[in-house]
Every structure is written in structure tokens, then in C-alpha cells.
Amino acid sequence: MRINSVAMAVVYLAVSIAFITCFALCYKFAARLGCELRAVNLWMNVSATAIMAAYFASAGCRYHATAALLGIVAGVFTYISTIAFFYHMRGARLALSWTVIGMAVVFPVAASIVLWRENPSLKQWLGLCVLAVAFVLLGAGRRAETA
């Protein structure tokens, strides 16, 4: 029996959601325990690096300077974004935080349209419109909470 690519995509999405949820809960738990969030971020990155280095070595991957440079730059961005997110989560609701973070996909899509002249499909345009509606609904929800 062969599993089609759509079914596998759903499985990967479910695994991603489960692990991202665990990741967020670990941060929230660390914040509630009063842990130094930069230390949590350090150990998260050390463990991720160790796992990826072991995979890289065992899979016979080859070194590529451009990939290394892009990885270093992305690592700096990841560090800064997770530290900022940690401090944000100290006083915010987790559900709202992850909803807004999930919407961050809009910016790379916009950059692809502007910088690389990519033409999104109708489905992608509809997705961007739905995200815009979600921003409006979140804003309305925040105003209702503070009123």
C-alpha cells in the first residue's frame, strides 16, 4: 500500500504542530519557573545543534560554504526572535502569541513577490486574505478584552 503525498503532508503537519506545541509549552513552563530565558535558549540551540550534527555526519552530508553562511545568519535571527518571543510570553496569552507568530509567514511571501517577482497562486492569495481577516479579528478581540 502506497501512501500518497497529500496524506504524508498531513502527517508531517500534525507532527510539526505537536512538536511546536511542546516547544512553546517548554518555554511557558520555563518562564513560570522563573528560569533565565537566555539559558533556556542556549540549551535549546545546543541540543538542536548536537542532533543536527549527528544527523549530518551519519547521513553523509557534504559541507557547503553558502549553506553554512546562511545557517549562521538564520541562527542569529532565530536566537533574537526566540529571546524576544520569550520576553513577550512572560505577560501574554500563549494562544494569542502563537497565532501571531504563525502569521509571520506573510512577510516571506511578500518578500518573494517583491524581490523575486514570484506570482502566488489563487490559493496563496486567498490564504493571504484570510490572514488579513485574522489580523482584524485579533485586533477586535484585543480591544474587547481591554474594554
Helices (H), the chain: 5-32, 37-58, 65-89, 94-102, 106-115, 122-146
Q: Mean of the per-residue pLDDT values for the chain?
A: 81
Pair (77, 50) in one structural domain: yes
Pair (63, 117) in one structural domain: no
Residues 107-134 have a mean pLDDT of 82
Range of the domain at 107: 93-147
Pair (2, 72) in one structural domain: yes
| Residue 105 DSSP symbol | G
Compute CA distances 80 → 31, 73, 101, 110, 146, whole Å. 17, 11, 14, 22, 29
* Domain stops at, among 47, 70, 91: 91
Total number of domains constituting the chain:
2
136 residue type, one letter: V
Pair (84, 122) in one structural domain: no
Pair (74, 3) in one structural domain: yes
Pair (87, 65) in one structural domain: yes
143 residue type, one letter: R
The C-alpha torsion from 58 through 64 and 69 to 70, rounded to 10°, is -80
Q: Are 86 and 34 in contact (CB under 8 A)?
A: no
Residues 43-65 have a mean pLDDT of 88
Pair (63, 36) in one structural domain: yes
Task: Return the pLDDT at 47.
Answer: 92
pLDDT one-digit tens code per residue, 70-103: 999 998 998 888 888 777 777 776 666 766 676 6
Q: What angle do CA 138, 103, 133 make, to 5 degrees?
A: 45
Pair (85, 109) in one structural domain: no
Pair (143, 82) in one structural domain: no
Task: Return the pLDDT at 15.
Answer: 92
Taken as a whole, the chain contains a residue count of 147
At residue 126 the predicted structure's pLDDT band, cuts being 50, 70 and 90, is confident
Q: 20: which residues sit within 8 A by CB, 6+ positions away?
A: 98
